[in-house]
């Protein structure tokens, strides 16, 4: 049975169980339950020392008692991918306990003919999915034998592909026992990221970045995938999980359009932070945001 090892533990987050447990408990306790139970969350995937407190606000909105399956959609940072890919692992490792990959859902997704399979090297090189797993294991620890995970690596999708995968995932989003974790950081600003958009009307550089991000977050809250696409075209904001976010928006849009879901869906951003405050053009920063989607 192939196991995807927690290869980023020790560098991106502590792999010492006691210390990790204390960290996550602190961040979760510092976050209020204000927009739950979540059917989907958006959470960052940087080193926990930078974004762990922000992630706590997203994971705090989860109601573990009702969750039986967790889809984790993370962007591909290292491999060119025109679609989405599934893991070759049957289990994924966390410092707390291993998470079982849902073989049935993987078979259903594979049957669509729209998914590739990633080998273990590609899987373990990518951090965007792994960074969600210790938090997930912590939140679900009282129900660890009652849920499975569906890791999905998301490539650089065309608008048509985003809509296609949104339709595929919409049936799973409609199931109240399913949770979607969308892995994304927000603006990567600075010369090292080849992105230095700066509107002086918005104040200092870090304030301009925040306004840029907030504009995007406000648009995501409208649940309008076309508006988010237009925003990205206008500003080019370097939101690394823009494709997973767009897939989620397309899934919501499909449910709304089909009328198959009688619930009101509401997405709210709950926390925002930056790795540092950029004040000069030689500075750099990465932004982090936490959000939750609920069905009323």
- What CA–CA distance (Å, rounded) separates 28 from 180? 18
262, pLDDT greater than 70: no
For the chain, state the CA radius of gyration.
18
Q: What backbone phi and psi angles, to 5 degrees, belong to 57?
A: -70, -35
Read off the pLDDT of each residue in 92-118 and give the average, rounded to a whole number: 97
Model confidence at 5, pLDDT cuts 50, 70, 90, reads confident
Q: What is the CATH number of the domain that holds 261?
A: 3.40.830.10
Render pLDDT for 192-204 as a digit per residue (tens, 0 to 9).
999 999 999 999 9
Which residues, 6 or more positions from 236, have their beta carbon under 8 angstroms from its beta carbon? 195, 197
Quickly count: other Cβ atoms within 10 Å of residue 279's Cβ: 12
Which residues, 6 or more positions from 26, have their beta carbon under 8 angstroms from its beta carbon? none
Model confidence at 127, pLDDT cuts 50, 70, 90, reads confident
């892995």: which residue's tokens?
183
Quote the number of domains for the chain.
1
- What CA–CA distance (Å, rounded) separates 246 from 29? 30
Render pLDDT for 135-180 as a digit per residue (tens, 0 to 9).
999 999 999 999 999 999 999 999 999 999 999 999 999 999 999 9
Between 260 and 71, residue with greater pLDDT: 71
Range of the domain at 82: 3-295
* pLDDT for res 260: 61
DSSP for 161-179, written as a single string: HHHHHHHHHHHHHTSTTEE
CA 256 from centre of chain: 22
Find the DSSP H helices in 126-241: 133-139, 159-173, 205-221, 225-235
Average predicted confidence (pLDDT) for the chain: 95
Quickly count: other Cβ atoms within 10 Å of residue 295's Cβ: 18
């Amino acid at each position: 049975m192939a196991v995807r090892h927690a290869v980023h533990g020790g560098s991106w987050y502590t792999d010492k169980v006691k210390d990790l447990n204390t960290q996550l408990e602190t961040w979760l306790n510092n976050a209020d339950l204000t927009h739950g139970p979540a059917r989907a969350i958006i959470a960052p995937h940087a080193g926990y020392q930078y974004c762990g407190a922000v992630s706590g606000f997203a994971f705090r909105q989860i109601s573990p008692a009702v969750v039986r399956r967790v889809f984790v959609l993370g962007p591909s940072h290292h491999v060119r991918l025109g679609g989405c890919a599934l893991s070759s692992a049957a289990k994924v490792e966390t410092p707390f306990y291993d998470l079982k990959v849902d073989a049935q859902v993987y078979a259903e997704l594979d049957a669509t003919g729209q998914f590739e399979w990633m080998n273990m090297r590609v899987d373990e090189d990518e951090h965007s999915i792994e960074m969600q797993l210790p938090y997930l294991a912590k939140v679900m620890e009282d129900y660890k034998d009652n849920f499975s995970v569906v890791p999905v690596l998301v490539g650089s999708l065309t608008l048509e592909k985003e809509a296609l995968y949104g339709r595929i995932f919409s049936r799973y989003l409609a199931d109240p026992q399913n949770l979607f974790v969308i892995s994304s950081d927000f603006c990567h600003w600075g010369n090292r990221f080849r992105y230095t958009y700066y509107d002086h009307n918005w104040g200092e550089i870090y304030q301009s970045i925040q306004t840029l991000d907030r504009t995007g977050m406000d648009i995501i809250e409208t649940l309008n995938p076309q508006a988010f696409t237009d925003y990205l075209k206008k500003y080019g904001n370097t939101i690394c999980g823009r494709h997973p976010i767009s897939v989620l928006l397309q899934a919501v849009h499909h449910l709304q359009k089909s009328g198959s879901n009688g619930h009101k869906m509401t997405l709210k951003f709950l926390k925002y932070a930056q790795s540092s405050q950029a004040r000069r053009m030689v500075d750099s920063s990465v932004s982090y945001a936490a959000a939750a989607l609920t069905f009323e």
